[in-house]
Amino acid sequence: MHPDCVLARTIFLKQKASLVLVSEDIVRTFQGRGIGPLLSCLQADSNSIRGCSVADRVIGKAAALLMVFGGVREVWTEILSVPAAEVFRRTGISFVAEQTVERIRDRDGTGLCPMEQLCLTVNNPAEAYWILSNGKKV
């Protein structure tokens, strides 16, 4: 792992953050649920995560596509879905996951995460960003 990713992971674990972004000497930590913090960063400035190393709690396909859209460098996560791993492999983003799961479930554990459902058949990161920003498919 790149030193920035190691730092992001360390901060993530110590601060119990939901998302940590590190780029050289700039460290940003976020609290929030789901893809909210990541999507907020991108909506504020689409270049805000470019070149960053990321530590995140759970990464499914929706989050992976947003990270590709934003141009992240490397990712560490506690839980990664198989479709998210495929997105990272296909786009050449380096990643480390503590655990890999088939799919990301909703908070109740009764079905698929709603964000995953929206991006199930999407492979274009820009399309995923539009869908997730607007909450619907085109």
The two structure tokens encoding residue 2: 């790149």
Confidence of residue 135 (pLDDT cuts 50, 70, 90): low
Region 18-27 average pLDDT: 89
- State the burial class of residue 64 (Cβ atoms within 10 Å of its Cβ: 0-12, 13-18, 19+): buried
Span 24-73, pLDDT tens digits = 878 999 998 888 999 999 999 888 899 999 999 999 999 999 999 999 99
The reported pTM is 0.92
Fold for the domain defined by 3-134: Cytidine Deaminase; domain 2 (3.40.140)
| Structure-token match 């929206």, residue found | 118
Give residues with Cβ within 8 angstroms of 5, minimum separation 6. 22, 53, 54, 55, 73, 74, 75, 76, 94, 96
Domain ranges of the chain: 3-134
Span 89-123, pLDDT tens digits = 999 999 999 999 999 887 887 888 888 888 889 99
